[in-house]
Structure 1
Amino acid sequence: MPLPTARSTVRTPRLRPHAGALSDPAERAARHALLREAPHAAPIRALAQRIREATGRPVPEPDPLDGGAEAGLLLLLETPGPRLTENPIVSRDKPGGTGANLRRFLGAAGIPRRETLIWNAVPWVIHAPGALNRAPRAAELRSGLAWIPPLLDAMPRLRVAVLAGRFAAAALPVIRAARPGLPVLSMPHPSPTYVCTSPEVPARITAVLAEAAAWLRESAA
Structure 2
Amino acid sequence: MTSRDRFRSTALRALRDPDALSARLQAVRTEPSALPLNDGVDRLRGRLGEGESVPWFDPASGGIEARSLFLLEAPGQKSMGAGAALRRTGSGIISIDNGDPTARNCWMLRAEAGLPYWESLHWNIVPWYLGTADRIAAPGQTEIQRAAPFLHEVISMLPALEVVVPMGRKAQAGWATYQERYAPKVHTLPTWHPSPRVFASRPAARQEILDVLRRAAELLGAG
Give TM class, smaller chain: 0.7 to 0.9
Contact 2:73–2:170, Cα closer than 8 Å, also in 1: yes
Q: Return the alpha-carbon distance in structure 1 between the equivalents of residues 130 and 199 of structure 2.
A: 24
TM superposition score normalised by structure 2? 0.87
Contact 2:63–2:120, Cα closer than 8 Å, also in 1: yes
1:162 alignment partner in structure 2: 165
2:86 alignment partner in structure 1: none
Q: Return the alpha-carbon distance in structure 2 between the equivalents of residues 14 and 195 of structure 1.
A: 28
- 1:11 is displaced (CA, Å) by 4.1
Give secondary structure in 1 for the equivalent of 2:97. coil
2:47 alignment partner in structure 1: 54
Residue 148, structure 1, aligned to residue 151, structure 2: yes
Of 66, 71, 76, the residue aligned with 1:76 is: 71
2:122 alignment partner in structure 1: 118
RMSD: 2.0
Q: Percent identity?
A: 32
1:196 alignment partner in structure 2: 200
1:12 alignment partner in structure 2: 5
Contact 1:82–1:131, Cα closer than 8 Å, also in 2: no
Residue 34, structure 1, aligned to residue 27, structure 2: yes
Q: Return the alpha-carbon distance in structure 2 between the equivalents of residues 156 and 199 of structure 1.
A: 37
- 1:179 is displaced (CA, Å) by 4.5
1:185 alignment partner in structure 2: 189
- 1:9 is displaced (CA, Å) by 6.4
CA offsets 1:163-216 (integer angstroms, 9 cap, x no match): 001111021241364344311110100011102222221121011111111111
Q: Return the alpha-carbon distance in structure 2 between the equivalents of residues 163 and 202 of structure 1.
A: 15
Contact 1:80–1:124, Cα closer than 8 Å, also in 2: yes
Of 4, 9, 14, the residue aligned with 1:21 is: 14
Contact 2:8–2:118, Cα closer than 8 Å, also in 1: no
What runs of 5+ residues in structure 1 fail to find an aligned partner? 1-7
Q: Return the alpha-carbon distance in structure 2 between the equivalents of residues 111 and 73 of structure 1.
A: 10
What runs of 5+ residues in structure 2 fail to find an aligned partner? 82-89
Q: Return the alpha-carbon distance in structure 2 between the equivalents of residues 46 and 104 of structure 1.
A: 30
Q: Return the alpha-carbon distance in structure 2 between the equivalents of residues 68 and 100 of structure 1.
A: 20
TM superposition score normalised by structure 1? 0.87
2:91 alignment partner in structure 1: 87
Q: Return the alpha-carbon distance in structure 1 between the equivalents of residues 203 and 8 of structure 2.
A: 34
Aligned residue type for 1:64: P
